[in-house]
Structures are given as C-alpha cells and as structure tokens.
Amino acid sequence: MGILRFIIRRLIFMVFLILGVTIMIFFMINAIGDPIDILMAERPGITQEVIDNIKSYYHLDRSLTEQYTLWLWNVVQLDFGTSIIYNQPVGSMLVNWGWETVKIQVPSILISLLLAILFASIASTRQYTKTDFGVMGTALLGRSMPGFFTGILLILIFSYWLGIFPSYGAYSTRSPLMGSLLLDSLWHMTLPVMMLAYFNTATLTLLIRSSMVDVLRQDFIIAARASGLPNRRVVYGHALKNAIIPALTYLAILFGLMLGTAPVTETVFTWPGLGFLYITAIQQLDYPVIMGITLIITLMLVLANLFTDIAYVFIDPRIRLE
Amino acid sequence: MAHHNQQSQALLDVSGLKIHFFTGAGVVQAIDGVEFGLESGETLGLVGESGSGKTISSLALLKLVPRPGKILGGHIRFENDDLIDKSEAEMIRIRGKRIAMIFQNPAFSLNPIYTIGQQLGEIMMWHEKINRGEANDRVTEMLNLVGITDPASRLKQFPHELSGGMKQRVCIARALLCKPLLVLADEPTTNLDVTIQAQILELLSDLKTRFNMAMILVTHDLGVVANMADRITVMYAGRICETATAERIFNNPQHPYTRALLSTIPRVDKSYTNIQSKRLTVVPGRIPNLIHPPTGCRFHPRCVEANGECSRTQPELKTVEEGHVVSCLKR
C-alpha cells in the first residue's frame, strides 16, 4: 500500500523538521540570555558562587552543543527537564496546562465547524440576498477584528455590564458555581470559547461559503436537481461534501496551530493554559518550558498536516498519495 | 397551437414562455414568448446559436431556471398538467421520473466524489422507493442497456476513472433510470470526439424507440438534428423563428434566419460552383444584447430581407402550411 510508505516518509521528514526547529529555538534562547541571570538580577545579595552552583545544577555551565544534546537525549526518554521558574517537571506541566488549552480550543473549533457549515450553507444557497450579505458581513467583521479586541469586548459586555460570565481564570477561587466543578468549569470556559469560536467560525464560514458558491454552480449539482433529488439532499449530500474539501486544510491548521492562537486568548482571560505558560516562560527565559512547548507546537502542526493529507484520500477519490 | 392540432395527443405544449434574468447590468429578456411542443415518442430538435435561449428553455421545463432568472409567464402543459402551477414538492417527483435531462458536458455532470453506483442508485431509491440492493440491480441493468461493458464492476468506479464517452453513457443511463416520458438532451454530443458522437446519437435513437420516449434535442448542430429529429424548432434571441418537420426545414425553410443557418453548413448534395463567392457563407452580425433587444423582429438587424416594418412590428407565429409555422412579416 502506497499510503503506508507515504506515512513513514512523512514521519522521517518530521524527525528532521523537529530537530531543525528545536536547534534553532535552543540557540536563539541562549542568544537572548541566561535565565539564572534574570532570576538573580532581582536578588542583589546573592554570591557568584551560589549562581555558579545553580548554573551547574541546570547544566548551564556546559557548552551549547552539550546542553542541546543532553536535552535531546532526555526528550527521547520522555524527560522534558525541570522548569527553572516553577521547579516542576516540564512533562507533567505540559499535560496539566495543555489540558486547559485543549479544553477551550477543541470545543471552539468543533463548534466553529458546525456553525460554519450551517451559516455557509444558508448563505450560499441564498447568494446575494440580505441573508447572504448579513452572514458575510458578520463573518468579515469576525475575521478582521483582532482576537484580543473581541475578547475585551466580550468581557465588557458579558462580565462588566451584564455580569453573567467570569472575566478571568479557569476555576472559581472560592466556591464553584452551584457547587458543581463541571458547571463552574463550563461557566469559565464560555467567554474564551466564544472569542475563539467567533474568529474560527468567521474564517471557516467565508471559506466554505465561497467554495459552496462555486460547487453549487457546477453541472453535477444542476444534474442532481434535474434528477429530482430534493434540495436538502442536493445541498448537504452533493454540494457540501465537495465544498468542505478545501476547508479541510484550514481545519487542520486550526488544530495544528491551536497553540499559536492560545497566547492571545489565554492572556486576555488569564487562562492557565499552555499559551499563557509560553508567554511567561519566554519572558523569563525558562528554556525547558519554551523548548517543551515549541516541540509540541511543531509536532501538532506536522501531525495535523499528515492527518489532512490522509483524510483527503478518503474524502476525495481523485486524490492519490504518490 | 397550429403545429400540433391534435391537442389531446400532445405530451408537451409550451406556450408564451417568458423568462427574464434580473442582473446587475439590467434585465436580460432571455426568453420572450417561446412556444413549442411535441407528442409522445416524437423527437424535437431545438436549434439555435449560443445565447438563443435553447438551454434555458429546456431547464425551464424542469423549472430549474438558474438565478437570477425568473419564469415570468407562459404555460408548460405536460400530460395535461401545467407545470407552471406545480410546487417544488411536486416538481421533484416529475424531475428524473417523468422528464429527465442529459447535459452538455459529461466530464462535469457527474459528482466526482461519489461512485457511479452511489449516485445513480440514490436517484433510483428516491423515485422508486426501493432499497440499495434492488437499486444496484436496476442501475446495472440500465448501464448494460447504454452499452457499458462489465456494468456491475462500474458501480464501484468513480467518474474520473471513466472516459468521456463512457461518462456520457452513464449520464444517459442516469436520465433513463426511471423510464421518463420525455428526455431533454442538451447538446449531448458537443463535448465528445466525432466518432463517439455518432455512437452516442445512435444509442439515444435506439433507447428512444425502445422506451418509447419523446426527446427534445437541444443543439446548435444542424447535422445532428438532421438525422435524429422528427420536427425542428429554430430559435433566435429568445424567440421562435420557425417550426416544421425536419424535412421541410432542410428543403423548404421559410424564415430568413433558418435559411441563413442552413447556408452556413457545407452540404455534399449541393453544388457550390454556381455560388458567386465559392465560400461558405456566414450570418452577418452577431447575436443581440438581450438587455436592449432589437425592436420588432429580433432578427431584423441581421436579416437580408428586413425593411422598416420589421423594426417596428413584432411578427406573430403563423402557419404557412400544415405543421409549418414561421414568425416573419415577409411570409
């Protein structure tokens, strides 16, 4: 089967890509500075000996090549090192903070996909009507507004004016909502999910609508109608399945680049996710954390691409993996 | 209607059909009072240049005029019902079941992501209320009838795995699945190789006899209709010029446009030596802009016989002989 060879080839390629990306990031972090210097700068009473001890504890006294090799060797054994700032194993931090990111990102992407399919179908079958312009206008607005602005607007409306949703955090600091941890969690998730979903829905709607408009003009759609198939089967069975194919790539990017949009969302809502952690880690040059998150971003992007390529084969029979 | 005076036998009778397209640039008066009709088992050739409204007229019979087009008036009597009064829910029971259509470009008129079996079976299941297994059997049978070898294994193939001629055979099979009374064939051979064209026309002709279907053959190719059609309707700029038996259209054309069209095709049975230019003639001018169609007779700007009257008065269809109607002030 050609598909297996294709996957293996892509996985080998992925190894080289990850090596390249991590080497670049590793050397760039070191070019910026040393995390211990940043930490110690605020504590003037500390002696050079203590600093040297700490540096040697974190192997920061070794050469860059040695440091990188050591990091890589540990990563291969699934040891991501220890955070310099939090003094916790990075591996479990990635899981714990990552879960908070997944919690808002995955629902928002899934909600966006469903809404976008719905809106795009409604708009494209009513091309150039008020409904279509309404959908497109709202989508264009969502696509053009910077994410943090949407977030702040949501906080203003739903937290400050209406007071119905919390403006920050993933959990209540005192008692959870109605005594239920699940409800409390969902309650906190609402605004960040809305912020992400608005942007994602907007983009996907524009994308799917335009490809739907193209597909609906095709001869095979007129032929399906001329065969007597009802509108609903023509639009959802014949047109949508063709129109969704170009949107798959974008969907994969959304999944793969989850951590790319996370920093903004999580900063606006002070959300304890990987994006928030990434920003603080970069500010403090907590390099084991930076490296860990970078590795995950690269991995997710490459895997998402691989999955899309494979999904294409199953959805579009004309596509063959060479 | 004069052109088929036995009203009771008429399968289809289109009269006064008027379709306008409401575009940003203005209202395109695409179809303006078109009438034609045919009886059971008959083949009507609908002939005209691109833009004459022949494809739109045939889509109108299924009430599938694309936006921004709108049927503004007229009657489409089919089996004594007026399709104009039918709701969309009623139309989906007629389309594909009693009136089916074959499209111009077989490469684009099959859904690329479904197998032949899936897309033809779906139509069968929808109209005949049968299950997938029975539908597959019926589809296989029909594929066999349209001359597809090894039909059972074709069910699992996708359109891109078939040749152009094969695709058109599949499209013909799709149209005939429910044995419709009327088939609309819109330029069914235009996009095919010449050798395949002949095969497809022969196939259509055979199947038409076999199922006793009526057919409207929409084409710009007079050569195609010459062999296939019992009667021919010539359209120009959204109006009917002339309707007569195929024989009369070729041997005794009355409308100046029909004559002009015929003079553009080379004929082996005519001598060209005594014609002054020794070249094939072309119809001078071009098809008019239908946002601002010519007044009076729409053909008058290109007509060799036109005078002042032709630009003022719109000609009515009149009978010049039994079964031969012409819309020309000069006849």
pLDDT tens readout for residues A17-67 = 999 999 999 989 888 888 887 777 767 777 888 888 888 888 888 888 999
pLDDT at B279: 66
Q: Flag if B66 and A317 touch (Cβ within 8 Å).
A: no
Report pLDDT digits (tens) over B58-78.
Answer: 999 999 998 889 999 999 999
What is the per-residue DSSP string for A99-139?
HHHHHHHHHHHHHHHHHHHHHHHHHHHTTTSHHHHHHHHHH
Measured CA to CA, the distance from residue A236 to residue A239 in angstroms comes to 6
Q: Flag if A218 and B108 touch (Cβ within 8 Å).
A: yes
Cβ atoms of residues B4 and B37 within 8 Å: yes
Measured CA to CA, the distance from residue B279 to residue B207 in angstroms comes to 39
Report pLDDT digits (tens) over B117-134.
Answer: 999 999 999 999 999 999
In this complex, the residue of B103, B113, B127 whose CB is nearest that of residue A223 is: B103
Q: Token pair of A223, please?
A: 């032929």
pLDDT at B1: 42
In sequence order, the 6+-apart residues with CB closer than 8 A to the CB of A13 are none
pLDDT at B330: 85
Length of chain B: 331
Domains of chain A by start residue, with CATH: 2-76 (no CATH), 95-315 (1.10.3720.10)
Cβ atoms of residues B168 and B147 within 8 Å: no
pLDDT at B3: 47
For the packed helices A147-154 and A258-268, what is the interaxial angle rounded to 10 degrees?
40
Q: Flag if A127 and B67 touch (Cβ within 8 Å).
A: yes
Give A219's contacts in chain B (Cβ within 8 Å).
Answer: 103-105, 108-109
- Most B CBs within 10 A among A126, A227, A229, hence the mutation to make, goes to A227
Q: For B245-272, what is the mean pLDDT? A: 84
* Per-residue confidence in pLDDT tens, chain A, 322 aa: 678 888 898 889 989 999 999 999 998 988 888 888 777 776 777 788 888 888 888 888 888 899 999 999 999 999 999 998 898 999 999 999 999 999 999 999 999 999 999 999 999 988 888 999 999 999 999 999 998 999 999 999 999 999 999 988 888 877 777 778 889 999 999 999 999 999 999 999 999 999 999 999 999 999 999 999 999 999 999 999 999 988 988 888 888 888 888 999 999 999 999 999 999 999 888 989 999 999 999 999 889 988 888 888 888 888 876 6
Q: Token pair of B206, please?
A: 């055979």
What is the per-residue DSSP string for A177-221?
GGG-HHHHHHHHHHHHHHHHHHHHHHHHHHHHHHHHHHHHTSHHH
Question: pLDDT band for position B267 (50/70/90)?
Answer: low
Q: Which of A93, A117, A293 is nearest to A109 (CA)?
A: A117
Residue B2 pLDDT > 60, yes or no?
Answer: no
pLDDT at B5: 46
CATH hierarchy code of domain B2-98+178-271+279-326? 3.40.50.300
What is the per-residue DSSP string for B26-75?
EEEEEEEEEEEEEETT-EEEEE--TTSSHHHHHHHHTT-PPTTEEEEEEE
Residue B271 pLDDT > 70, yes or no?
Answer: no
Cis peptide before B68 (omega within 30 of 0): yes
Residue B6 pLDDT > 70, yes or no?
Answer: no
Does ipTM exceed 0.95? no
DSSP state of A82: B
Interface list for chain B against chain A, based on CB atoms closer than 8 Å: 59, 62, 64, 66-67, 88, 92-97, 100-101, 103-105, 108-115, 119, 122-123, 126-127, 158, 160, 171, 174-175
CB pairs A-B closer than 8 Å: 80
Three-state secondary-structure class, residue B243 = strand
Residue B171 pLDDT > 70, yes or no?
Answer: yes
Can you tell me which residue has the tokens 């306008």? Answer: B20
pLDDT at B272: 60
Min CA distance, A131 vs chain B (Å)? 16
Question: pLDDT band for position B241 (50/70/90)?
Answer: very high
Cβ atoms of residues A109 and A193 within 8 Å: no
Give A127's contacts in chain B (Cβ within 8 Å).
Answer: 67
Report pLDDT digits (tens) over A97-129.
Answer: 999 999 999 999 999 999 999 999 999 988 888
What is the per-residue DSSP string for B143-197?
HHHTT-SSHHHHTT--GGGS-HHHHHHHHHHHHHTT--SEEEEESTTTTS-HHHH
Give B126's contacts in chain A (Cβ within 8 Å).
Answer: 228-230, 233
Cβ atoms of residues A83 and A91 within 8 Å: no
For the CA atoms of chain A, what is the radius of gyration? 24
Classify A175 in phi/psi space as left (phi over 0), alpha (psi -120 to 50) or beta: beta
Measured CA to CA, the distance from residue B158 to residue B115 in angstroms comes to 4
In chain B, what are the domain boundaries? 2-98+178-271+279-326
